[in-house]
Amino acid sequence: MTSDAKIVAAPEVPIVMPADRLTTLEIRAAEQEKTIEELSGQIAEQWKVIERLRKSLEQVGDRFADLEERAGPRHEATKPPHW
């Protein structure tokens, strides 16, 4: 049997000097730290909005319950006597 598999050469990777590699890693780490800080700030702002909305929803629920109590007993819908 003959093998039809082809040997593919690995892509050429430029040789990076250790100092350049360290600098690249430091830059990436700094960029990631900045991104994490930005995301953390966005999450904090979203949490404030969520809390504000939760309080508003609770107030609306309380007002609705109060209105229901003041409305008195509910009347069941019945068919008029002529039906």
Cα angle 64, 65, 71 (rounded to 5 degrees) comes to: 90
Flag whether the pTM goes above 0.75: no
The mean pLDDT value for 6-18 works out to 62
The dihedral formed by the CA atoms of 63, 64, 70 and 74, expressed in degrees to the nearest 10: 180
The mean pLDDT value for 60-76 works out to 86
Given this model, what pLDDT does residue 26 score?
Answer: 93
Residue 21 three-state SS:
helix
Whether residue 3 is predicted with pLDDT greater than 60 in this model: the reply is: no
What b/e readout covers 38-50, taking b as 16+ CB neighbours within 10 angstroms? eeeeeeeeeeeee
Condensed to tens digits (0 to 9), the pLDDT of residues 16-61 reads 567 888 899 999 999 999 999 999 999 999 999 999 999 999 999 9
